[in-house]
Structure 1
């Protein structure tokens, strides 16, 4: 019997099919409350009165709706997903619950979160939905895990995003495209829309989710083609998180009770540096 192939987490078709076949809420790794302490801490250092949240890979998680408890206005939350199906489901679910917000005064119309279907690995797609240097918090519950499973992205030289405001605009069509790891591209693209000192809060199953923060671990092609994420993001915290959903398992004869081994996830908090990013041609 042939082995079952792994899910195509980098495929938009996979996610559309998954959410079309099962529209019920699904949580990756932890409950919607799993990142609360880190969010509260990030809000404490945010300089603006109405910080903007970017929730990447919202899927069918109830985290989108839980985030509303952290803001005064639902429009401060911007949910992004690769799948248009997931975005539509989220919008419908929100319209079903927005009117019962206990914070609404009599006669007050509800406000809604923003929702967009976006390819996070395409800066044009991201900027079509998001403004540059707009977000103070980026919320990521296992989305980086899914993106890490995608194939490398072939990037032509020169990359359209640069740390040099006067970088040349003439793209050499004869240059050879370089294979870049998708997380490397994700980090650069998110840096384009994050404010200086913005927090990127990630829950991951991996204890080495962002190796690019160590510049020596990156390939020469990545160093030469794409701005280094190690100059755009710094690691503020990395900690082990006990999976609170652990439950005892009873044997068939009910003579003993065994426990599943502890499962630990990892919390990463990255902070955007002050290094600016530019699109080639910004100076023209």
Structure 2
């Protein structure tokens, strides 16, 4: 009797348990979609031609980079090449195992030994003495955090009490993984307590809103994806008007303020040809070589608009 075929159930890429299991059991460096070299070349080209080159979009001499879904990729280590100080880079992931792997790999690769000296502040509130050395050394390594990108409090915790926003977000197939999840029921903050109406949101739409909350106006969201239609909310204004016209008044009320297209505009969308790694020889006449068809990934460059996230247009919280 033939053996039972193995399960063909697709991996749950939107699940924290999937990534924890993967990164706990296998911490070998893995690059999604593109090599580190190809990815850095793309990012660097965008930076050179943007206002992020040399200083942030808010004239900050230390532009901040948020790398979402860092995983076990070596991209995190190479992002240090794009900034003056490594502390300008913040790597985050859903999996604590991946974050700890990246943190330790940075320490080992760059022979960093974080100081553990108590702060010694002068009378003017500035840092002096041993604490000044600690701050200086702290700038020599990147930040690492475990974050749920679909939780607004979790994302907001990245900017801390200082509220310093990010100038550049790097997303290498993280949106793809999040897109695998089901819609999420959220409760819009602007709805009155006596008339709350939960709404169902696409997880990528929710991601876009949460990232908008921590990105400076005119900041960049650079996405490398396998999908030619990763951000359906980036539709033409005419299509959006047509959709709005078809909605009932109640639908307008419950969706007001959560359209991520208000906070992001598409600056660029381009195909990325995946380099051929080998040629396959398949039967036929001797010496007949069959080349694999070209495979494409996609580059999206989104720019944060000036639209404010405030009362009435805050990202919705999960119910």
TM-score, with structure 1 as normaliser: 0.84
What is the rounded CA distance, in whole Å, between the counterparts of 1:179 and 1:269 in structure 2?
26
Q: Which runs of 5+ in 1 are unaligned?
A: 101-107, 161-166
1:21: Cα distance to partner? 1.5
Tell me the secondary structure at the aligned position of residue 184 of structure 1: helix
1:261: Cα distance to partner? 1.3
141, 146, 167: which is aligned to 1:117?
A: 146
Partner residue, 1:103: none
RMSD (Å) for aligned C-alpha atoms: 2.8
What is the rounded CA distance, in whole Å, between the counterparts of 2:271 and 2:66 in structure 1?
24
191, 200, 205: which is aligned to 1:179?
A: 200
Tell me the secondary structure at the aligned position of residue 129 of structure 1: coil
Q: Call closer, same or farther: CA 1:252–1:60 in 2, change over 3 Å.
A: farther
1:226: Cα distance to partner? 4.9
Q: Call closer, same or farther: CA 1:10–1:171 in 2, change over 3 Å.
A: farther
Q: Which runs of 5+ in 2 are unaligned?
A: 113-135, 315-319
Computing the radius of gyration from Cα coordinates, the structure with the larger value is 2
24, 31, 50: which is aligned to 2:35?
A: 31
Tell me the secondary structure at the aligned position of residue 50 of structure 1: coil
Alpha-carbon displacement from aligned partner over 1:230-271 (angstroms, at most 9, x marks no partner): 110010000111112542234589844322211111100000
Partner residue, 2:292: 260
Alpha-carbon displacement from aligned partner over 1:79-131 (angstroms, at most 9, x marks no partner): 1100011000000100001238xxxxxxx957110010000011101112234
Partner residue, 1:62: 74
What is the rounded CA distance, in whole Å, between the counterparts of 2:49 and 2:178 in structure 1?
26
Query: What count of residue pairs does the alignment treat as equivalent?
Result: 265
Any runs of at least 4 consecutive aligned residues in structure 1 with deviations exceeding 6 A, and if so which?
none
Q: Which has the higher strand share?
A: 1
Tell me the secondary structure at the aligned position of residue 213 of structure 1: coil
Partner residue, 2:48: 40
TM-score, with structure 2 as normaliser: 0.75
7, 10, 15: which is aligned to 2:19?
A: 15
Which runs of structure 2 are paired with 1:240-279 in the superposition (5 Å)? 240-251=271-282, 255-278=287-310
